[in-house]
Structures are given as C-alpha cells and as structure tokens.
Structure 1
Amino acid sequence: MSRRPLVPLLALAALLALPPAVRGLSCYVCADPAPSDSDHPLLRAVSGGAMIPTCAEFDSGNDKFKEKCTALNPICAKGSWNGGEKRVCSDSTIKEGCVEENGVTYCGCTTDYCNSAGLSTPALLLLLPAALVAALHTA
C-alpha cells in the first residue's frame, strides 16, 4: 500500500492546525437587536464594518456576512438569545467555548467561519480521521 495519497491529507491537516494569527481569521458577521438587560461585551461589540446585516437574512454564501478579523478582534464569536443572535469578530474578552449567562449563550472560536450555525469545530475534527481511513482503504 502506497503512502503517497497521505501526503496531501497531512499537508491539509498541517495547514488547518496553523494558529489564526498566522493565516488571518475570517468570521461571519450579523446582528439582531440585543436584549436591553444584557451588558455582556459581545452584545456591545461592533464589528469592523460600518453596516452589519441582520442575522434574520443570514446566508453563509453571501460575502456581506463575511469579515476578515483584525489583531484587535482575533476571535469569532456568536451570541444567541430568545429571538435573536449576533456574530462578530471579537476581542479577547470572549474565550473559546460556550457559556450561558442571563438567558444568552455566548460562544467563541478561532477557526475560519466557526461562528456559523453549521457544524462545530469538534465535529469537523472528527471528519479528518474518517477521511484518512477512507484514503487508506481506497489505495
């Protein structure tokens, strides 16, 4: 069995493992009106763009919902509450993982477009071993 088919997969895995600061993090951005009783930094955060589209019309394929983060806002974040959500590039007050506070769930992550409603980063990481096994069995 040749190991040559693994070389591209290993290169891809190495690229995905690069820290966001090295390759520039990209996040989804959108905002619904925030609950008035929350003072969490994420709900006060404004992304780099002047006009943020509403999450009600969110479309991951539309570039108006995508933003390249700056060094000042190095984390993708998402806040969800009853009736709304917000996705932004955030500062380091938002940590990786999710917490729930006063009826709002806040999540931070550090891979490109990880603040979508789709598959989470851990779910994507589970797909990599499956791809490796499939490659080994097809060779």
Structure 2
Amino acid sequence: MIRCVLSLALVVVTVTLTGCSRENAGERLTRECVEVVDSGVDSENTTNPDVATVKRADMEAVIRSERWATTPLRKAMQAELGELETSRGYTSDKYDAAWERMVNRGGERDALWRAAFDSDLPRRERIRNRMIRECVWERGTKEGAR
C-alpha cells in the first residue's frame, strides 16, 4: 500500500516537472498579461476598488444625478454643491475646504466614492481589457519570432 502511494506520488511529481499542462499558449499569455497589467495599472484606471482613486469631477457628477438624491441629506448635499458652484469669490483653498465639509457630512463619503467608482468602472474595464489585448499581441509576436 505504501509502495503504491509513493509510486503514485512520483508519477504526479514527474508529470508536473515535465510540464504537461492543459493550458494552451493563448491561455498562458492571457494569464501572464492579466498579472502584468493588474500589477502595473495606475490608481485612476484600476478595477480594484482597494487601490483605486476617484476624481472629484466624478464625485460631483454623482451628487448632481437624480439617482443620488434619495435622502434628505443627499438632497441637501446636491443643493450645497449647486451653491458652491455658483458662488463667486471662492479661492481654490476655500472651495476645497467647503467641498471637504460637504462630502464628509453624515457619513456619505464612502457611498459617494463607491457610486463614483461604479459609474467609472466600465471605462476602467475597457482600458484594462485593451492593455491585456495589447500585451498578448506583443508577447505572441515575440514568441512567434523565436
């Protein structure tokens, strides 16, 4: 019994070491390129919400949308953004401070950030997919030239 288990283990190790894989070259290139693209993409284009950043313009667009204004607090934020945009005499520092006060009210910042990220996700996915396709094409061309 032990001899059978040991010989089976040796067969598994041998098959693994000889590189018997069911993955074809295209699948391998795609897998490798996904890893390369995901590790090198910047925070404005990543599809990973843990490391992504969202632009203020995207957050402002979410606040302006009718879908966002579902609670009295969110409606107040919408009105405050309108006032902020039409007020004259704000320096960029005053505008930044007013913006921070507005979005940090009532614990809405995380929901606002997530809504802005989700609305920008299709663009981020298009960029990621294009980068993966380009990587696969370039690597495939290099491997074909060998």
TM-score by structure 1 length?
0.33
Larger strand percent: 1
TM-score by structure 2 length?
0.32
Give the structure, 1 or 2, with the largest relative contact order (CA under 8 Å, sep 6 or more): 2
Larger helix percent: 2
